[in-house]
Amino acid sequence: MMRGGKNREDWKHAALEVSIAFIIALLVGGVFVLAAGRSPFAAYGAILRGAFGSWISFSRTILAATPLVFTGLAFAFAMRGGLFNIGIEGQVLAGAFVAAWVGSWPVGSGLLLIPLAFILAAAAAGAVGLVMALLRVRFGASEVITGIMLFHILNILFEWLMRVWAGTPGAYKSPPIAAAAHLPGVGGIHIGCAIALAMVILVFLYERYTSAAFKVRAVGADSNVSRYQGINVGKVMLFALGVSGAMAGLAGASRVLGESFAYLPDISGGAGWLGIAVALVARNNPLAVVPVALLFGVLKVGGFWLEQELALSSDLTLIITMTLVLTISARRLTPMLARILKTLRSQERGAA
């Protein structure tokens, strides 16, 4: 009973914190709108019309939010284990490229091709996460550094492979996937959105009802104490980053199979980096990831309407997003950054 009451209080506190941060973000954005000689009410009205003014706008908002649900879950999952998976952007690219490759196979049935593309995309991106985890466990390499390095390596590698695959050095996208690999949907919203919601439910049930989730949280709280209690910290880290990478790969697969129908170097659209912001604002809560991802989708899609209706730069939505993230995460990032700096210093002392 006490636990339920505490959870409700935590939810109320988190909701209040996010609400205050959102109001601050709107006020900051309003200052920039006023400086441009426009009305903040007109600007925010334009954003809402751009995101929800028609069914086409609504479907675009949902599609913009879908990869953010996957990447937000991915970052939050790793953070439960105390791991800062900044390599999500590279994992999205890995999932997207493999999905495009599998989607081009001459398999007539989408019932076979689509699940296979998702599974192999998740496996490829999960393997990237495992590489980061192995480097952390075996050599003490910071997942922040390895994540950034792997992103740049994968970005260059997949762009080169894309051009080799297309057969021309100037190619800007891969050959198209087969029609059987296109995700089915209704009204412009494909089933990748439903898969994202299913992942939210699975992660929530996993964290709430499994002992494995307790071990991940224990390692995230204090790896030394967890090791003393008999928990295999290395295996937990491998598991956390592997699963995190796999979920990021699903974001790339949904973009390729449901929207672009080919691999493009910018297929992610920043979903990996924005997923980190989504998780921070959602306080790593899988259920809260959905409304936060939807909010970011509204800002992304609605921002284009600002330029058409009020001749304002869509960068206004970026200002709102970053203000929201900074306001929410400033208190929470301090211990996280301290841990990262401590790891880097210990590595420097070891090298010396």
Q: What's this model's pTM, rounded to 2 decimal places?
A: 0.89
Q: Of 62, 76, 77, 57, which is closest to residue 295 (Cα–Cα)?
A: 62
pLDDT value of residue 310: 82
Architecture of domain 21-351: Orthogonal Bundle (1.10)
Give pLDDT tens digits for 236-274. 999 999 999 999 999 999 999 999 999 999 999 889 999
pLDDT value of residue 183: 97
With a cut of 70, say whether residue 76 has pLDDT above it. yes
The amino acid at 310 = L
Q: Is the dihedral of CA 142, 152, 90, 59 positive or negative?
A: positive
Give pLDDT tens digits for 16-71. 777 777 888 888 888 988 988 888 898 899 889 999 989 999 999 999 999 999 99
Domain boundaries, the chain: 21-351
Query: Contact 113/87 with Cβ under 8 angstroms?
Result: no
When pLDDT is cut at 50, 70 and 90, the band that residue 331 belongs to is: low
With a cut of 90, say whether residue 6 has pLDDT above it. no
Three-state DSSP string of the chain: CHHHHHHHHHHHHHHHHHHHHHHHHHHHHHHHHHHCCCCHHHHHHHHHHHHHCCHHHHHHHHHHHHHHHHHHHHHHHHHHCCCCCCCHHHHHHHHHHHHHHHHCCCCCCHHHHHHHHHHHHHHHHHHHHHHHHHHHHHHCCCHHHHHHHHHHHHHHHHHHHHHHHHCCCCCCCCCCCCHHHCCCEECCEECHHHHHHHHHHHHHHHHHHCHHHHHHHHHHHCHHHHHHCCCCHHHHHHHHHHHHHHHHHHHHHHHHHHHHCCCCCCCCCCHHHHHHHHHHHCCCCHHHHHHHHHHHHHHHHHHHHHHHHCCCCCHHHHHHHHHHHHHHHHHHHHHHHHHHHHHHHHHHHHHC
pLDDT value of residue 70: 98
